[in-house]
Amino acid sequence: MKTYLTPVNEIERKWYVVDAQKQILGRLASEIAVRLRGKHKAIYSTFQDTGDFVIVVNAEKVRLTGKKLDDKKYYNHSGYIGGIRERSAKEILEKRPEELLYKAVKGMLPKNSLGRAQLKKLKVYAGTEHPHEAQQPETLSF
């Protein structure tokens, strides 16, 4: 039996809007990752980008359970000796709330060129406004 390969021009990509207000970060990120990868479609295959576009609004109002807001740490390294930076989830949520959700979804996608292509279809905004009205996105609720 041969593996079915969906032609790229036959892949139908939809646009979805997700409201992150009062949503738990990890649960929301896993649902978004499923949509970006295309695992909800019958034509899904592991080696093709069959996913949809996802727009997330109100990223600043996402919730973390327990003491994760203070205890969860994110690390960056500049490449120089002693160049490691540590930031808590609370600091990131205050300064750049889009980054918190972006990093959570990025960690749930494949770590290769396919994952990078799928991540480009994620658009995260801190407020309620987004510039993608022309795509006529559907509202998606979890």
Query: Is residue 8 in some structural domain?
Result: no
Q: What is the per-residue pLDDT for 1?
A: 79
List the chain pLDDT tens, one digit each, 142 residues. 787 788 999 999 999 999 999 999 999 999 999 999 999 999 999 999 999 999 999 999 999 999 999 999 999 999 999 999 999 999 999 999 999 999 999 999 999 999 999 999 999 999 999 999 999 999 999 8
DSSP 8-state code for residue 108: T
Query: Is residue 82 in some structural domain?
Result: no
Q: Strands 15-19 and 138-140: what pairing?
A: parallel
Query: Is residue 19 in some structural domain?
Result: yes
Q: What is the per-residue pLDDT for 142?
A: 83
The answer to whether the predicted template modeling score (pTM) of the entire model surpasses 0.85 is: yes
Query: Is residue 52 in some structural domain?
Result: yes
Distance CA 42, CA 57 (A): 28
Could you give the number of structural domains in the chain?
Answer: 1
Q: Which domain holds residue 52?
A: 14-64+95-140
